[in-house]
Structure formats: structure tokens, C-alpha cells
Amino acid sequence: MSEENKVVEPQNQQTEATSETVETKAKEMTFTQEQLDNIIKSRLDSEQKKHQRMLDEDTTAVFDQEQFKKFDEYVTKKYKEFYENENRLWCKERRR
């Protein structure tokens, strides 16, 4: 029986230590109003920065689309000029 007591005792000690840890964690989880305000403020700041980055990326994407549109118009214009010149040259050669 004494062996059984020895086996049981460490298990009880571990349980007691675990309950002390839970109590310690519960004590550590209390915050003052100022601490809560600081936590909330830091989270709000990070969310605002995240949102601002998303807006900046959207603005960049729109700007890139505008640049692409300008580039496309430029290429189309140059292509038309080239095609018109080639067409004129072809017509001249054909008339000869």
C-alpha cells in the first residue's frame, strides 16, 4: 500500500501545481483600464495602417491602369501611322 501512496502522491502534487499555474495565469490576465486603452489603441493603429496600405495599393493599381491605357493609345497611334505610311508607299508603287 505504501507503494500505491507514493504513486498517487506525485500525481496529486502535479495537479496542485497545475491548479496553481491556472490561478497564476488568471491573476496575470487582469488589466487596468489604461492598459486596455493602450492595447486597443495599438490594435486600431495597426488596422488603420493595414487599411491605408490597401488603399495605397489600389491607388497604385489605378495609376498603373492609366499608364497602360496611355501606352496602349500611344502604340495604337504609332501602329496606325506606320500602317498608313506603308499603305501610301504600296499605293505609290502600285500606280507606277
Q: How many helices (H) and strands (E) does the chain have?
A: 2, 0
Question: Which DSSP helix (H) or strand (E) runs through 38?
Answer: helix 33-95
| Encoded amino acid at 40, one letter | I
pTM above 0.85, yes or no: no
For the stretch 10-60, pLDDT in tens is: 555 555 556 666 566 656 778 899 999 999 999 999 999 998 888 888 777
What confidence score (pLDDT) does residue 18 get? 63
What confidence score (pLDDT) does residue 88 get? 80
How far apart are the C-alpha atoms of 31 and 21, rounded to whole Å? 18
Residue with cell 491548479: 19
What confidence score (pLDDT) does residue 14 get? 53
| Encoded amino acid at 38, one letter | N
| Among 43, 24, 40, residue whose Cα is nearest residue 32 | 40
What confidence score (pLDDT) does residue 24 get? 63
